[in-house]
Amino acid sequence: MPFRSKREISIDDERENAFRESGAFSDGRSDAHAPDLSLRTADFPRLRFSSSRAARFLTAFFDRCIVGCDAGEYRLESVLGQGRYGTSFSGIRRADGMEVVIKKIDRAESTSVREAVWTECAALSLLDHRGIARWLGIVNGRVTTCGSRVCVRALLPRHAAFYGIVQSRCPGKSLHLLLCEGHVFSMDEIASIGASLIETVAHCVSRGVLHGDIRPANVLVDEQGRVSLVDFGLARFFDRSLAESAVFTCAADDVDGIVETLLFLLYSDRARIRADRSGRPWFEELAISERQRSFLHDAFFRKESFDSFEEFGSRFAAAFSFRS
C-alpha cells in the first residue's frame, strides 16, 4: 500500500470521525434504515456555500489579472499558486532580470496569517544556504500597468494596493509533483536527495531555526539533482546554545519530516513492495536492506539513539550508500 504520513493518517481519522458523527454510516443496516443524506448537508460545512471561499475565488481572479504588471521594482510574470497565506507569483527584478518569488499578502488578513508571514521572513533572514531561498525584502505599493496591457485590477482602487514579501526563486520541481507524475526514484536519487535534505536541515538547526513542515511538497529538485527546501511559514526558533543532543530532540518534527519524505520516495518503486507483506507497516512491507530499515526505524521511533545531526547524517550515508 502507498506510504501515508502521520499527518495524512490524522487527517483521514478526523474525516472518518466527522462522517460517523454525522449519522451517514449505515453500519451494515439496509438502505431502508440509512439516514437521509439529503437532509444532513448541514453536517458537512464543505458542501455549503462559504463567503470566505467566494472571497478567495475572487482574490485569485483579480490576482491573475495583474500578471504582466509591475509591483515596485519587480515584474509579475505568472501565478505559481494560492496558498494558506496568499498568492505566490513568479517574477523578475527589472534591474537585472533576477528570478524571484513574490508572496502577496492581504493586509486585512488575520493576526495569525501576518505572524506566519513574518515568521518566514525572520527564518529566511537567519539562513544562508544554497538550498534555501534568500529573503530580498518587501514590496509595499500599488501595481502599475506596463506597455499596452490593460490591468483590470488597476481599474479597481480598492484592489490596486500590493503588499508582499520577496525571496529568490529556487529551481526545480517539488517531490510531490514528481511523485504525482509517476517518477520512480532510484536508490541513487534517494541517497542524493536525502543527504542534501539532511545537510540543509542541519544548517537551519545550526542557526536556531526549525522548518516545521518538511514534506514532499516543500522539497524541490532540479534537473541537476540540486535540492531546495521551501515554505518556512511554520518555522519555529530555539536557543542555539543548547547541547547538540538537546538540539536534535528539539528538531524531532523535522527529523520525522525527513524520514516520511524518504519513505514516499522509496514507495515510488512498486518493486520495493513485498507482495507477501502487502498491507503491513512500512518496516515490514518495504524490500530494503537491514541497515536502511534500522536507520529509518530508529529515526522514527528511537531518536535518542542519535546524539546529533552529524551522527544522523553519517548513519544515513552508511545506510543509503549507492551500493547499500
pTM for this prediction: 0.76
How far, CA to CA in Å, does 87 sit from each of 26, 58, 76, 102, 162? Answer: 42, 12, 12, 8, 11
Q: What is the pLDDT of residue 116?
A: 77
Q: Is the fold of 51-168 the same as that of 173-319? A: no
What's residue 27's pLDDT?
39
Instruction: Give the whole-angstrom CA distance, residue 90 versus residue 77.
Output: 5
What is the pLDDT at residue 1?
47
Extract the runs of DSSP E, i.e. beta strands, from the chain: 70-71, 74-83, 86-93, 99-104, 135-144, 161-168, 173-174, 209-210, 219-221, 227-229, 236-237
State residue 53's pLDDT score: 59
CA-wise closest residue to 221 among 203, 204, 197: 197
* Domain extents in the chain: 51-168, 173-319
Mean pLDDT by 10 residues, the chain (324 residues): 53 46 39 40 47 60 83 91 79 94 76 78 94 92 65 51 90 95 96 96 95 96 95 90 83 95 96 88 93 95 90 95 56
DSSP secondary structure code for residue 132 in this structure: B
Q: What is the residue-wise DSSP string for 44-86? A: -GGGS--HHHHHHHHHHHHHHHTTTSEETTEEEEEEEEEETTE
Look up residue 292 and give its three cell numbers: 536502511
| Cα 41 versus chain centre, distance | 31
| pLDDT given at position 262 | 97
Q: What is the pLDDT of residue 65?
A: 81
Q: Which CATH code for domain 51-168? A: 3.30.200.20
What amino acid is encoded at 153 in this protein? R
Which candidate, 219, 250, 247, 238, places its Cα nearest to that of 133?
219
Length of the chain counted residue by residue: 324
What is the pLDDT at residue 61?
Answer: 72
Give pLDDT, residue 259.
Answer: 96
For residues 252 and 232, is the Cβ–Cβ distance under 8 A? no
Q: Which CATH number fits domain 173-319: 3.30.930.10, 1.10.510.10, 1.10.150.120, 2.40.110.10?
A: 1.10.510.10
